[in-house]
Amino acid sequence: MFPVLLSLLWVALLTGRTLAQNATFTRGQKFQIILLGVPDVSKMPLPPTDAPVWDVDLFDTPVTTISALKKAGKTVICYFSAGTAENWRDDYGGFAAADLGKVLPEWSNEKWVKTGSQGIRNIMAKRIKLAADKGCDAIDPDNTANSLPQMDTYQNESGLSLTPADAISYLTFLAATATTHSLSIGLKNSLSILPSVSPLIDFAVNEQCFQLGECTAYTTFLASNKPVFNIEYPQPLNAASVQGSACRNPVVDGMSTVLKDLTLDGRTVYCDGGGVVVDTPTVGGSSSPRPSRPPMPVYGDAQSDGYVYAETDEYIYAATDGCAGWWRV
């Protein structure tokens, strides 16, 4: 444990020095995230013009798009999955079968990866270098820890006997590698390791913290003036979505909250936008985008915030006033 703590401190110190030379992230920054398609920079200036931070797909987004966004004063975060192997990615052939775990229950074209494997880490190091070569300011590595709430083991989900300590070790590696390329790094969901890795990360990206009753986990992180880019998925996404509790509840105060469709396309509703659906023009894109958490079909009588009940093969989610959570079926 002591060597791990030393490595965490070392990376945190390096990250702090690098951040001053690179992107600046602060609490409350407005952002846009697009993983289905690529922002169409031929139509600049792109809405929302007042969003300084843009999160885009590492593989699909060309250098010219990243360059145009940065020329417009945007900070560009590049997304990739660090904890799964996606069979449509260009580097999928580099994943050894021995390093792959179970198929994700909701995503049949992805498998969990053995994060401690040197082969996996070599692949991710190349991805981080690609982000730097493309001109990204930061990386958004997804699936770094089990993200389903109410689960206290990693092996049941991945088939790889992974532990929280493994997740901390992996995030430490990713942060150190990002630092060598002068890139900032965020933590996607993975609330179980947030207290341990907060010194290493410059921002957090969360999905559905309001819907899942998890937003208060970010209180200390927000107090350090680091942003939490929060995504909620009301169904359907429309002008009325902003009236839901995800925008009006004090637990999201200080967060940068957007309301998105599950496809993570260019459509976005901002809590401060009067319910207007901002539609960023997009082109192309070959990814199979999806939220990190399983999509949760809503059924029953719809409530004002769009959330009632949802289920996966193994879990059921229920939300009522002041109470939300997952339970095993």
> What pLDDT, in 10s, does the model give residues 68-124?
999 999 999 999 999 999 999 999 999 999 999 999 887 889 999 999 999 999 999
* pLDDT per residue as tens digits for the range 269-299: 998 877 789 999 999 876 555 555 544 433 3
* Helix-strand-coil split of the chain, %, nearest 5: 35, 25, 40
- The rounded distance, in Å, linking the Cα atoms of 305 and 327 is 21
CATH hierarchy code of domain 2-295: 3.20.20.70
Burial classification of residue 139, based on how many CB atoms lie within 10 Å of its CB (0-12 exposed, 13-18 middle, 19 or more buried): buried
CB 206 within 8 A of CB 218: yes
* pLDDT per residue as tens digits for the range 29-76: 999 999 999 999 999 999 999 999 999 999 999 999 999 999 999 999
Mean pLDDT, rounded, for 151-157: 42
Burial classification of residue 118, based on how many CB atoms lie within 10 Å of its CB (0-12 exposed, 13-18 middle, 19 or more buried): exposed
- What is the DSSP secondary structure assignment for residue 167, as one 8-state letter? H
**Cβ within 8 Å of residue 306, ≥6 positions away:** 234, 235, 236, 241, 244, 298
Helix pair angle (2-21, 164-180), 10° resolution? 30
